[in-house]
Amino acid sequence: MVTIAREVCKIIRSRPRWESTLLSDFPSSTLFDQNCIQEIIKCQNNPLLSLRFFSWICSQDGFTPDSVSCNAIFDVLVQAKASKAAQSLLSSTKFLPKPASLESFIQCLCEDGSVHESLPVFSQLKNLGLSPSIAVWNTALLGCLKVGRTDLVWELYGEMMASGLVGDEDTVGYLIRAFCKDNKLSEAYELLQQVMESGFTPDVIAFTKLISGFCQERNYSKVSELLHLMIAKNRPPSIFTYQEIIYGLCKNKMGAEAFRVFNDLKKRGYAPDRVMYTTIIDGLGKMGQMGEAQKLWVEMTCDGFLPNEYTYNVLIHGYFKIGKFEEARKLYKEMCDRGLKESTLSYNTLIGGMSLHRRMGEACAVFEEMPKKGINRDVITYNILIQGFCRDGKPSEAMKIYQELLQIGLWPSTSTYTPLIRALCEAGKVQEAIELWNDMVGRNVEPLCCTRDYIITALCKQGNVTKGMDWLAKMLGSKVRPQEKTFDELIKCLTLNDRLDDAFLVLNTMFTIGYTLREPISSFLVSQFCRHNSYKVGECLKEILQSN
């Protein structure tokens, strides 16, 4: 059988239309023999040709594949990571693979990103009274993380625990990463402490994700604690760990500290890569320290890292930020001369730099160039122009850009709505701002907290304090903390309208959430309350000052 199988494989590999002649080369009794089929599948060393042969023989009259042959071709497809073909085979043949094959299939699906499709396979094993190995569970958990399905992480982990299986260090690492992805850092940190006490130490990636989360929260004491813990537990931080720290520091406008960490890393023997150079150059540029940024640029190229499109754009943005338009344009030309193509990113940098300095005419001219050069505009392109016009006090022009964004089918973001609502409120067009708010909520776009503050302040300035109070009540009901100046504006408006009881109510709410009474609003209240010459007002004022 082995000899015949090898001959068949040779014909399949070398003859283009072997299906029409194979039965004339070999008797059907030999080709239809299950042992021969298994040998052909095994010898082929090509999953596509093996599947082609299996599909052909299944189409022949008088042949019905047995479970062993089906399992053989199934295993070949799974080993080749051909998850779609394996799924198709299962649905067409209706056979049940061996438990080991099902476990391999789960891993294949999860590595392919088809984690949801793996759930029925878990159920099949459960119905057989079997539980996958810890390696299979871990592959599934990792697959869920890669596609952002933390809900499935917890669902699968619950099933794993119910099966009586105890997780290992990899399992714990994936759970910590899932907590971090859900922005549940306290739960992730608590889990880390628990498993460390039990003798488990997660991998560097889990530590890095937790460090990244604490960086975003500006909790640098926890970052420092985790770094020391990693070193103590023989999990030395990787270059990616420090990259997250530097990125977080730059994002939180702590560029000087990021630069210190960067220099310290080099002294300790770490070799920065192009991503880290780009990150720190970006941070220095945002701080306006273009001299240091340029030095790092030279250092990066001397270390053998050629700047890419992203590196060029962060330096170009830095020059725009400090108003050095000529240097920015020269660098842009150098980027193009080096063969790096103009893109949506590079055009957004140009438009952003011009609009930042209120050169909206030039920004619009560059905006109009984009379709002529075949460069797509994205929502960021439109947001930059909208922000520029709003900064210039031209909400009508900004609204035209917004309407164009909608017309071409782009989906507006929080960064689209926030400057528009603010500009409309500042221009006294509060009703238009509220309509825009309703559109934002209708599109399930999450508003920034300050957006409500803009609307409340604008309503008060128009004398519509009742509606302003309604918005404040909704804001507090949604557990959103108003800005202190929003309270000041409401109190001032209520007092001027002789609604003293409501003013006291707002004051009490203001104190409850942690604000204090400041100048000039305190002096304003004293002068207004004294006008009433009322004992009750005097007592209330005394109580307010004591609470404050």
Q: For residue 43, give both structure tokens.
A: 């010898």
Residue 425, SS3 per DSSP: helix
Residue 34's pLDDT is: 82
CB 101 within 8 A of CB 89: no
Please state which of the ranges 246-255, 313-322, 422-431 shows the lowest mean pLDDT.
246-255
Mean pLDDT value of segment 103-121: 92
Residue 545's pLDDT is: 57
More confident residue, 401 or 528: 401
pTM of the model: 0.70
Helices 274-287 and 239-251, interaxial angle, to 10°? 20
Q: Which residues contact 433 (CB under 8 A, 6 or more apart)?
A: 420, 421, 424, 425, 454, 455, 458
Say yes or no to pLDDT of 515 above 90: no
Q: Which residues contact 534 (CB under 8 A, 6 or more apart)?
A: none
Tens digits of residue pLDDT in 326-351:
999 999 999 999 999 999 999 999 99
Residue 151's pLDDT is: 92
Residue 368's pLDDT is: 95
Write down the mean pLDDT value for the chain: 89
Say yes or no to pLDDT of 299 above 60: yes
Q: Where are the domains of the chain?
A: 1-96, 469-547
More confident residue, 8 or 406: 406
Tens digits of residue pLDDT in 50-100:
888 888 888 888 788 888 889 999 999 999 999 999 998 888 888 889 999
CB 24 within 8 A of CB 18: no
What is the percent of the chain where pLDDT is above 70? 95
Q: Which residue has the tokens 């993380």?
A: 145
Tens digits of residue pLDDT in 153-202:
999 999 999 988 888 999 999 999 999 999 999 999 999 999 898 888 99
Residue 532's pLDDT is: 58
Mean pLDDT value of segment 457-473: 92
CA distance 21 to 119: 42
Q: Which pLDDT band holds residue 454 (cuts at 50, 70, 90)?
A: very high
Q: Which pLDDT band holds residue 536 (cuts at 50, 70, 90)?
A: low
Residue 514's pLDDT is: 84
Separation in Å, CA 80 to CA 55, 77, 141, 282, 367: 17, 5, 21, 42, 47
CA distance 126 to 130: 5
Mean pLDDT value of segment 7-19: 86
Tens digits of residue pLDDT in 204-229:
999 999 999 999 889 999 999 999 99
Say yes or no to pLDDT of 354 above 90: yes
Please state which of the ranges 235-239, 315-319, 321-325, 514-518 shows the lowest mean pLDDT.
514-518
Check residue 409 and give left, alpha or beta (phi > 0: left; psi -120 to 50: alpha).
left
CA distance 325 to 304: 28
520 preceded by a cis bond (ω within 30 of 0): yes
Say yes or no to pLDDT of 243 above 80: yes
CA distance 172 to 153: 12
What is the percent of the chain where pLDDT is above 90? 54
